[in-house]
Amino acid sequence: MTRGGAISVRGATKVYDPDGARVIALDHCSMEIGAGEFCVVVGPSGCGKTTLLNAIAGFHELTAGEIHLNGQLLSSPSQPATPGSDRVVVFQNGALFPWMTIAENVAFGPMAQNKLEPKQAKEAALETLETMGLSLIANDYPGRISSGTRRRAEIARAMACHPQVLLLDEPFRALDALTKTVSHQFLMEVYDRERPTIFFITHDLDEAIFLASRVFVMTTRPATVKKILEVPLPRPRDFRLLASPDCQRLRAECQAAVRAEALKAFSVGERER
């Protein structure tokens, strides 16, 4: 069962104009993401992925085009989106408050966004942590747990608001390979249990194929969709799937598309990563 969360990006264009130096980050970018779909976005560094995520999150307005959520206008130049509890972001560099315990951090969203009383919010937080197998760290402070566990706590904090849409910007980028695998399993279990719509940005193509229902490969800046790869692998998924011929073929296809765009960016002086 899904809780809504269909996203329709229609001709989204974003021009940054710092000090008159125009940077076109998105140019007539369109994509349709179904409610409860796990969508992964890959593309060359600096192409505009975070810009698109921020527009969906409501952190900045579009220069042209529209974004719809469940068929309702969410953002246009004349009606910029505002952040809301229906869309929650998990940031690249983490955002837990170091002075709060994990339970207090997880309770923060339901209090701030869902307007729960502190007592109810704490109960909801403890319930979320228990469902996610994180009860043991409820009373720990972020600085006292490992980076992988912190990432999981951040996902728990995001999910405590029961958002329709979970937006993740390279959330596991800084983790070592083993911790990444555990984090993938964690996120997949959250997804299989709650089916939010997921918009997940990464540069790791194995991660993209392993997690996604569909992978959107973006062009070099300004970003538009270059290619959409369907990943018809059954769920729940096991990391050993990555060695299968189907996964290897999809990965090669994805890599070829991203590499072609990264080379274009490189040739015009952008940094390839």
Ligand X SMILES: Nc1ncnc2c1ncn2[C@@H]1O[C@H](COP(=O)(O)OP(=O)(O)OP(=O)(O)O)[C@@H](O)[C@H]1O
Q: Which residues bind Mg ion (CB under 5 A)?
A: 50
Instruction: Select from 39-47, 181-189, 205-213, 227-235 the region that touches ligand X (CB under 6 A).
Output: 39-47
Binding mask 204-243 for ligand X (x = CB under 6 A): -----------------x----------------------
| Interatomic CA distance for residues 170 and 41, integer angstroms | 10
Minimum CB distance to Mg ion, residue 169 (Å): 6
Nearer to ligand X, 42 or 103 (CB): 42
Identity of residue 216: F
Q: Which residues of 82-113 are buried (b: 16+ CB within 10 A; e: fewer)?
A: eebebbbbbeeeeebeeeebbbbbbbbbbbeb
| Interatomic CA distance for residues 102 and 154, integer angstroms | 9
Minimum CB distance to ligand X, residue 229 (Å): 18
C-alpha angle with apex 167: 158 to 23, nearest 5 degrees? 140
- 72: enclosing H helix or E strand: strand 72-75
How far out from the chain centre does Cα 111 lie? 22
Nearer to ligand X, 16 or 97 (CB): 16
β-pair partners for 42 = 217
Picked from Mg ion, ligand X, none, the partner binding residue 20 (CB below 5 to 8 A depending on kind) is none
Instruction: Select from 15-23, 76-84, 108-116, 233-241 the region that touches ligand X (CB under 6 A).
Output: 15-23
| Interatomic CA distance for residues 99 and 261, integer angstroms | 43
Binding mask 105-144 for ligand X (x = CB under 6 A): ----------------------------------------
Q: Give me 164's structure tokens.
A: 């329709």
25 binds ligand X (CB under 6 A): yes
Are β-strands 165-169 and 197-201 bridged in parallel, bridged antiparallel, or unpaired? parallel
Is the backbone peptide bond immediately before 232 cis, with ω within 30 degrees of 0? Answer: no
The correct pick among 16, 241, 249, 263 for binding ligand X (CB under 6 A) is 16
Nearer to ligand X, 25 or 257 (CB): 25
Minimum CB distance to Mg ion, residue 239 (Å): 25
Nearer to ligand X, 36 or 43 (CB): 43
Minimum CB distance to ligand X, residue 17 (Å): 8
How far out from the chain centre does Cα 180 lie? 15
Minimum CB distance to ligand X, residue 222 (Å): 8
CA torsion sign for 96, 99, 102, 105 is negative
The correct pick among 7, 8, 42, 48 for binding ligand X (CB under 6 A) is 48
Q: List interacting residues with ligand X (CB under 6 A).
A: 16, 18, 23, 25, 43, 45-51, 221
